[in-house]
Amino acid sequence: MDFFIVSASIFDMALVDSDLKVLKILRMLRTLRPLRFLTHNVGLKLIVNALISSVGGIVNVLLVVAVVFLIFAIIGVNLFAGKFFYCSIDPYLLHTQLDCEYSGGSWELYDHNFDRTGRAFLTFFIIASLEGWPDIMVQAVEAKGEDEGPELG
């Protein structure tokens, strides 16, 4: 490993004036320089080997979580499809697309919605990460009906 990293660095320094795409890959190999420290530190080598050997278990857990998210995404589509629309002018007074466009506004869909399974999957990922979930919760609570704007709950 040390030989590979050092030889790639020397080769990169020798061709510093060239503008080849292959050199970009060699420059990215510079990020591997700290890995040379692994050969000298036994404890750190043990930790890295443990992390690499646990990748299979982590992938299995991620697959199970993805299946659970998919189940909830399908339920979310069944419950909330078409209910996350709002008017750009006054979302709490103009409840239909016709009223909104007649008043000069545009009928829009919230970024995080449940109209498609993929978008619902992403919405549940955002909820699970605890970043932005209050906005999605308020949108779900204020959802009135399909193709209708929100109503203060």
Q: Give pLDDT tens digits along the chain (153 positions).
A: 667 767 777 777 776 666 666 666 666 666 766 766 666 777 877 888 898 899 999 999 999 999 999 999 999 999 888 888 888 888 788 888 888 888 888 888 888 888 899 999 999 999 999 888 888 888 888 888 887 778 776
**The pTM is what?**
0.64
Mark 89-119 as b/e (b = at least 16 C-beta within 10 Å): eebeebbebebbeeeebebeebebbbbeeeb
Q: Provide the angle, in degrees to the nearest 10, between the axes of the packed helices 117-128 and 55-80.
A: 120
Domain locations in the chain as residue ranges: 2-53, 56-142
Q: What is the pLDDT of residue 62?
A: 94
